[in-house]
Structure 1
Amino acid sequence: MHSFILLIWLVLCAAQDARQRRIANALTLGVAALALIWLLCTGSTWLGAEAGQGGWACLIALALTLPGFFMGRMGAGDVKLMTALGLATDGLFILGVFIGAGLASVVWMLLAPRVWLHMSQGLRDRLQYLGPTMSKKLPFAPFVLLGTVLVLLWIH
């Protein structure tokens, strides 16, 4: 059940990021606060890892995203998204998501020029920031969603 809620949250973040290239603080900080409260009250993350694992996952998320933020490759919403995801999961999960997101973005950059031409104009307008000409700074949340799905499939 917690995985399902996590996926719904990531779908909302991915949709907003793909359309507007930003993620609302209510989505990122709200879930981070809920995950932290859950962690402190139950002693475990949403996915059942020990509290210490959630803390490590949060630090791993910061270590992996802050360099991209300071280099201008990631937005603050991406950092907050991964940090909130870290508080809700564990270190291996967050590493898997980051690797999966990276692989998904590379595949998208290779396929986007071909796929983009066959998409309807309405869909291209809605997902304009995922277009092949935007490859310098793609929205990260859609790829985090794909990375999370891959990790959840791998775990189960």
Structure 2
Amino acid sequence: MLTTLALCAWLAACAVQDLRRRQVDNLLTLGGLAMAAGQLLLTGHSLTQHAPAAALAAAGLGLLLSLPGYLLGKLGAADVKLLAALGLASDPYSLLYALALACLVTVALMLASKLSLESQRLPKAFEGCLKPFDLSRSKSFPFIFSIFCGYLLQLSFR
């Protein structure tokens, strides 16, 4: 339970940094990867109490699913490192559920921002909150925020 809370706190810190700066420090992403690897080496299980084989498979799956997006310029390097670290800290099912739910969160946020920002009925306070999710105004989308939301949703379904 405590390790899951630590994993959520790490994802939240990454998400906040991605929302604010559109960039996540290597110290944060690689630090999470090192924390997950250290847990695996020291205790013989992942942060979510899964076997090393499951954690390594999930890390490989995270890389396999995110590297093509990075090579096409659709994902940032932090997204790739974060998914590998999340995989190493959990298992393939958790990673896939979190990623699938993150994609749904992304679509919902993009649609909400597009509809809300075009309606002209949005209070100024909310307009600032939705601007990061409007792709017509920026080049990148804070996908790590969606991964964080997807991971939290995945936890609530289990």
Structure 1: runs of 5 or more not aligned: none
Distance (whole Å) between structure 2 residues aligned to residue 81 and residue 120 of structure 1: 32
TM-score (norm 2): 0.89
Are the equivalent residues in 1 in contact too, given 2:39–2:47 (CA < 8 A)? yes
Q: CA RMSD in A?
A: 1.9
Equivalent residue, structure 2, for 1:154: 157
Are the equivalent residues in 2 in contact too, given 1:68–1:74 (CA < 8 A)? yes
Q: Helix, strand or coil: the match of 2:142?
A: coil
Structure 2: runs of 5 or more not aligned: none
Distance (whole Å) between structure 1 residues aligned to residue 123 and residue 61 of structure 2: 36
TM-score (norm 1): 0.90
Equivalent residue, structure 1, for 2:133: 130
Are the equivalent residues in 2 in contact too, given 1:97–1:144 (CA < 8 A)? yes
Distance (whole Å) between structure 1 residues aligned to residue 153 and residue 39 of structure 2: 25
CA displacement 1:30-51 (0-9 Å, x = unmatched) = 0101110110111100000001
Distance (whole Å) between structure 1 residues aligned to residue 137 and residue 90 of structure 2: 31
Distance (whole Å) between structure 1 residues aligned to residue 114 and residue 47 of structure 2: 38
Per the alignment, do residues 41 and 75 of structure 1 end up closer, same or farther by CA in structure 2, a change over 3 Å counting?
same
Q: Helix, strand or coil: the match of 1:133?
A: coil
Q: What displacement does 1:21 show?
A: 0.8
Distance (whole Å) between structure 2 residues aligned to residue 134 and residue 55 of structure 1: 38
Per the alignment, do residues 113 and 122 of structure 1 end up closer, same or farther by CA in structure 2, a change over 3 Å counting?
closer
Are the equivalent residues in 2 in contact too, given 1:3–1:47 (CA < 8 A)? yes
Equivalent residue, structure 1, for 2:80: 79
Q: Does 1:120 align with 2:124?
A: yes
Aligned partner letter, 2:70? F
Equivalent residue, structure 2, for 1:40: 41
Q: What displacement does 1:28 show?
A: 0.5
Per the alignment, do residues 110 and 122 of structure 1 end up closer, same or farther by CA in structure 2, a change over 3 Å counting?
closer
Distance (whole Å) between structure 2 residues aligned to residue 104 and residue 142 of structure 1: 9
Q: What displacement does 1:123 show?
A: 6.7
Give the aligned length: 154
Q: Determine which structure has greater relative contact order: mean sequence separation of CA pairs < 8 Å that are 6+ residues apart, divided by chain length.
A: 1
Q: Does 1:101 align with 2:102?
A: yes
